Amino acid sequence: MIEEFVLTLPLKVESWQADILNNRYEHLRRIYNMVQRKLLRHYIYLSQQNEYRQCKDNDEKRTFWENHPITFKDFCDKNGNPAIVKFPYTYSHRSKDSGKKASNGISDFVPKFKNRNIGGGLTYGSLGINASILENLGLRIEQAWKKRLYDPKSKHISFKEEGDLNTLGCREKNGFSGFVLDLQKMTLSFNTNGRQGKSAKFIHFPINAGKELTEYEMYALKGGIGSIRKIVVSREYVRGRYKYYVQLTIKGEKPQKNRTLGKGTVGIDVGPSTVAVSSLHGVSLDKLADKCDNIEHDLWRINRKMDRSKHETNPDFFNEDKTYKKPEKGERRKWTFSNRYKRLKLERRELYRKQAAISKQQHIDMANALLSQGDEFIVENNPIDSWAKRAKETKRGKNGKIRCKRRFGKSVAHHAPAMFVSILQNKVRSLGGTFHKVEIKNAATQFDFTNGEFTKHELNERTVTLSNGRTHQRDMLSAFNLQHLRPDSEETKDYNIEQMEADYPVFCKLEEKGIAQFKEKRQQERDVAYFTGVSHKTLKFSSANRHNGGVGRKNCNHHAGSKRNVAETGNKSSSKEYCESMETVSLVPNEYHHSNHQHLRLDGL
């Protein structure tokens, strides 16, 4: 199998060029929604037939879609025959029998929009949106329908809102239609009128302007134009404006960064916000994407502001208790948003971008550090998606009250454990190592190798005591069990107990060292209440100490010493206690205030 990788380089785009590109992105978004709307209407009709409802598995569904093509009379060929489209019925965009491209696919239908009139005597083709670009868009639509038709978790087809479609590109077919890439001058040109020869109009973008290519980039481009299989111009909204990049899909050996794998087996226990690692070289417990904790509170604060603004500008859509009022049948509502709401929405968008970028970079750094631990990695295939969902079953506690159905939705969203597992898996396999995802039926958290028994523990039990009397951190012990699991065994819960007994003394020493390092690292990020000895309920969450580790996060409007506080808590000394605590907080060194990002400044607002 030929290896492919993607190289991303920045583009220098002038403001007038950005206007042209943004216009093309908007037209592609409209085509995307237009095609999805047409296909969705036919899908709803066909899926209600008895023949489709009787399909038991995906193979029968594929046969049904192959035998039920869709006819579009508003798209005809030269002979006047209407266009015929079939929903995805093969395992790829190529037929599984002949290896040739499957006929009448969605990617064949979308290029027909090239000659569609958009008013003013213009067509999509006259704007530079040629058949190759539309075919690439059709492949995205086809992939979305494959997921909708054959993935039981997929429930609906999504449409693109304004600003959601941010890629424009084509694949290599006797050249790149609409694009001209010059690797000597390091420029990318885009055809804006779809014409050929002297009448063609191009806009030119310098690639990596003002900077020299790194060794990694030079090695990636050593094959020249012939090694490039796809060109995509993408954009990203950063600090109030778009930045543009070119993504080159290159065929060949991926350049390495002088990283090598160690020797040995590594067990990894991934949680909603932490990851525990056990190997012969070290035992550790780290928090995933810990630099995103401060952004979490900013998002919560902005969401509250937006919610209040939305209630004020649309009072008819909410009840007196501020709950949403369901619309009547046939009612179409038009929401009104203030300029403040729109500004807050842009701030939130920027925070989401920063959160995603920071978490991804931290995951990459952590994965690179783990590569030297071994060459065989074992991870539990945890249902991370289900961690983020609410519980369906209603349960009651010992006191008879209904338990909360919330799980770990916010924690999974802010720390992205699935992204870390995916990044580590790609890095290990690219370096020639082995990466195993084992079933959760192996019960690594419950296993006690000293007596061979499995004991279930509650979620709030963070330490586990073995039958030999030794107490261990729960996640670290689970990683140690995964380290000695036989992943290739046909039986579940097949642990190498002899090797575990031999490695256990080393694990105990490394665990003590790992816990000490974790405490030392986390000490700088603890709440200010740790230093003051005052309950977080008596601390005021003001702008001066807004990022002190999350103190008073749930009580940001709770003023210590106020009449409301005295009435609720009966504590008349709250004001005095608050003043003393603030004096103590001022003595805390700045390095313990782990968040230092500044307020956003959005250009043009």
**Mean pLDDT, to the nearest integer, of 241-267?**
91
pLDDT (tens digit per residue) in 583-595: 433 344 443 343 4
Residues sharing a CB contact under 8 Å with residue 68, sequence separation 6 or more, in sequence order? 46, 86, 87
* Confidence band of 189 (pLDDT split at 50, 70, 90): very high
> Do 275 and 386 touch, CB atoms closer than 8 A?
no
Q: What average pLDDT score do residues 244-260 get?
A: 90
| DSSP symbol at 307 | H
Q: Check whether residue 38 and residue 96 sit in a common domain.
A: yes
Nearest to 207 by CA among 170, 244, 158: 244
- 224-228, 262-266, 381-385: which range is least confident on average? 381-385
Degrees, nearest 5: CA angle 238-242-248: 100
Domain enclosing residue 543, as ranges: 529-592
In angstroms, the Cα distances linking 320 to 84, 305, 307, 313 are 53, 19, 15, 14
* pLDDT score at 48: 93
Tokens encoding 99: 């290896």
Q: Are residues 513 and 570 in the same domain?
A: no
- Grade residue 524 by pLDDT with cuts at 50, 70 and 90: low
pLDDT tens column, 469-482: 889 999 999 999 99
Whether residue 442 sits in one domain with residue 305: yes
What's the distance, Cα to Cα, between the start and end of the chain in Å? 50
* Rounded alpha-carbon distances, angstroms, from residue 420 to 143, 181, 246, 275, 578: 24, 34, 25, 9, 40
Q: What pLDDT score was predicted for residue 599? A: 42
Which residue, 464, 498, 520, sits at the end of a domain?
Answer: 520
Q: Residues 536, 516: one domain?
A: no
Residues in contact with 279: Cβ distance below 8 Å, sequence separation at least 6, in sequence order: 262, 264, 265, 266, 267, 373, 374, 483
Closest CA to 511 of 460, 448, 463, 446: 463
Same domain, 300 and 446: yes
Q: By three-state DSSP, how is residue 227 classified?
A: helix
559 lies in a domain? yes
Q: Answer yes or no: is 601 within a domain.
A: no
What does the radius of gyration of the chain's CA atoms come to, in whole angstroms?
29
Structural domain ending residue among the three candidates 495, 520, 545: 520
Task: Give pLDDT, residue 535.
Answer: 36
**246 and 299 together in one domain:** no
Indicate whether 173 pLDDT > 90: no
Helix (H, G, I), strand (E, B) or coil at 409: helix
Residue 551 lies in a domain: yes
Residue 530 has pLDDT above 80, yes or no: no
Q: Please tell me whether residues 434 and 582 are part of one structural domain.
A: no
> What are 11-32's pLDDT values in tens digits?
999 999 999 999 999 999 999 9
Q: List, in order, residues 6 or more apart from 78 with CB less than 8 Å away.
A: none
CB 533 within 8 A of CB 587: no
When pLDDT is averaged across residues 367-395 and rounded to a whole number, the result is 88
- Domain C-terminal end among 487, 520, 553: 520
| Same domain assignment for residues 515 and 534 | no
What average pLDDT does the chain have?
Answer: 82
Are residues 174 and 291 part of one domain? Answer: no
pLDDT in tens, 205-216: 999 887 888 888
- Predicted confidence (pLDDT) at residue 235 exceeds the cutoff of 50: yes
In a domain, 597, yes or no: no
* pLDDT at residue 565, as a whole number: 45
Is the confidence at residue 572, as pLDDT, over 90?
no
Burial class of residue 259 in the structure, from the number of CB atoms within 10 Å of its CB (0-12 exposed, 13-18 middle, 19+ buried): exposed
For the stretch 79-111, pLDDT in tens is 778 888 888 876 554 544 444 455 678 888 899
Residue 226 lies in a domain: yes
Asked, for residue 259, whether it belongs to a domain, the answer is no
143: tokens are 């992939």
Which region among 74-88, 104-118, 245-259, 312-326 has the lowest average model confidence (pLDDT)? Answer: 74-88
403 pLDDT band, cuts 50/70/90, is: confident
Shared domain check, 548 and 511: no
Task: Give yes or no: residues 38 and 116 share one domain.
Answer: yes
Nearest of 25, 17, 345, 336 to residue 163 by alpha carbon? 25
Indicate the Cα dihedral angle 137, 143, 148, 150, nearest 10°.
160
Predicted TM-score of the model (pTM): 0.78
pLDDT above 70 (res 500): yes
Q: What is the DSSP secondary-structure string of 28-84?
A: HHHHHHHHHHHHHHHHHHHHTSHHHHT--SHHHHHHHHHT--EEEEEEE-TTSPEEE
Number of domains in the chain: 3
Q: Is residue 439 part of a domain?
A: yes
Name the phi and psi angles at 601, rounded to 5. -125, 110
- Asked whether residue 257 is assigned to any structural domain, the reply reads no
Over pLDDT 90: what percentage of the chain?
46
Q: Which of 67-81, 174-188, 419-433, 474-488 has the lowest mean pLDDT?
A: 67-81
Q: Assess whether 495 and 385 both reside in one domain.
A: yes
pLDDT at 412 over 80: yes
DSSP for 364-404, written as a single string = HHHHHHHGGG-SEEEEE---HHHHTSPPSS--B-TTSPBPP
Q: Cα–Cα distance between 112 and 135 in angstroms, integer? A: 9
